[in-house]
Chain A
Amino acid sequence: MLNVKRNGLVFSVMVVGIALLLWAGWHNLRERRKAMQRAQENHVVLQKDGDAVSTDMYKPKLVGKQAPGFTLMTLDGKKVSMSDFKGRPVLVNFWGTYCGPCKVEMPWLEEFRTKYAADKLEVLGLVYDVEIGNETIGKEVKKLGVTYPILLTDPKVQAVYLSDSEVLPMSFYVNKNGVVVEETAGIGGKDEIEAHIKKTIASGAAPTAGGQ
């Protein structure tokens, strides 16, 4: 009789134990699924056409339009405005200290500025990552041998010129009438840059000829 009672008790404990194990397993599985679901919700998913936009997909926005005006500070604290270069062809070049391609083309731009000085070409280097500090920017500029004005961008000029692209380098070729003739994203060949400069210089005839 005692044995029967004991067996019954052992059986009951076993049933409860198995039930607890099953519940714990189910609960654990449920928690893991929930956690994975939370992680999946947090994922950033690449979309071919909407997310990472390469230079090959860049669409010019300012060509044919008047170049937006700006007044920015140089590394040594002087104010420079787009309007200061009225009547001159200007190459507005956005660059960043972290951008390798930018630093390859900047010496080319310096060279073209000298080559086309008789045409009054000006190059403006608008640095994007201003937060890195004037000292670091200055060191990079010196290393690159660049002497054209380096201007510190602000969110406003970034928004107006770069919009949502954030591609560097970005170049805007502005003719003497202040109209954007070419707009390029990313680095191209040196010859290509020179061709754009020639086109910009030729564009925007003297006011007596009616201009562009």
Chain B
Amino acid sequence: MLPASQVANAQQVGNLDTPAPKPKSFVVYAAEQQNVAAEKRSVLELHFRVADGFHVNSHTPKSELLIPTQITLQPAAGVKAEAVQYPAGTSYSFSFDPTEKLDVYSGAFTVKLPVVADAGTHTVDGTLRYQACDHAACYPPRSLPIQVIFTAQ
């Protein structure tokens, strides 16, 4: 908590008169070109990183009111995608409430996407939905657009 008397030298943007800026991001997606065998089941890896000092709920948070990290993918021609495989979360507790254990992702996490694809270069569009908190506060859910690009040969 930050009282007025301890104003940080932050690059806080905007004031009451300025329009709302673009949504802030707490997770970044590292797109990488991947190669798989054509027409064979292969597993693509989607690499994400949560900003330092933040965490997001895992895909299986421990309360139904918590918003899980979830990927939605659009259908792509020549690509049969199976269900996305999420990593297990790690246990986290806020310092002010050590009894409540949350299940979160922090730092780097990798989501796996099994596919069977025709030969060629493919792009699968999708969205990562997540909800982030830091050590003392939480932020509204965000949607991060992603593109999974890979070549089957």
Contacts and interface: CB of A to CB of B under 8 A. Distances in A.
Interface of A: 28, 31-32, 35-36, 38-40, 42-46, 49-61, 63-64, 96-102, 104, 128-129, 136, 140, 159-160, 163-169, 182-189, 192, 196
A96 B96 CA distance: 18
A35 B51 contact: no
Contacts of B149: 32, 35-36, 38-39
Given A39-B149, A52-B25, A159 B138 contact: no
B77 interface: no
Counting chain B CB atoms within 10 Å of each CB, which of A54, A128, A184, A187 scores highest? A54
Contact of B21 (A42, A56, A164, A188): A164
Given A98-B67, A101-B94, A35 B3 contact: no
Contacts, number: 175
Nearest to A139: B65
Interface in B63-105: 65-67, 94, 96-97, 100, 102
Contacts of A28: 121, 151
Nearest to A167: B137
A160 B97 CA distance: 30
Smallest CB-CB A-B distances: 8 pairs: A188-B1, A186-B136, A186-B137, A57-B10, A49-B11, A99-B138, A63-B4, A39-B31
Q: Which bucket holds chain B's interface residue count?
A: 35 or more
Interface of B: 1-4, 7-8, 10-16, 20-21, 24-26, 28-29, 31, 33, 49, 51, 53-54, 65-67, 94, 96-97, 100, 102, 121, 123, 131-141, 144-147, 149, 151
B96 A187 contact: yes
B94 A160 contact: no
B146 to A, nearest CB: 8
A72 B74 CA distance: 39
